[in-house]
Amino acid sequence: MKKTFDEEQMRLSLGEAENALACGEIPVGAVIVKDGQIISKTHNLCQGEHDATAHAELLAISKACRAVGSWRLHGCTLYVTMEPCPMCMGAIINSRMDRVVYGVKDARAGACHSLLSLQNYPLESSPVCEGGVLEEECRSLLQSFFLKKRKN
């Protein structure tokens, strides 16, 4: 049952990634859930906002903090279509989030399992990181975006 819930949330994250794609952004989407309820969802906005920090994860964390009225996100799970980068993992750890579920690994900048495993360092908190949920769908969306970019 947990897997089905994770897949449902990842499908919502994929929907957000599609929104990013429609805006010309790298198609990464994120959803944050607390107590079975969505408290935040968004997508990459780096290009549109002219902001290197406008990653889906950071935007989702900001929205979630406002929704719960605290910078601590205990009891929350982040669903994101691509493995978080070091910047985003730093924010995830700092926010005390319990869990990260991602779709596809990021071999170049992934900070859960690929390049680094920041959750394994003795920091303030250690979220559980799980990858591979709807991996093929997440990979396909990213690959098609970058193939199109290369053609242009």
Active site residues: 57
Q: Are 96 and 131 in contact (CB under 8 A)?
A: no
**Exposure of 77 by Cβ count < 10 A (0-12 exposed, 13-18 middle, 19+ buried)?**
buried
**Exposure of 8 by Cβ count < 10 A (0-12 exposed, 13-18 middle, 19+ buried)?**
middle
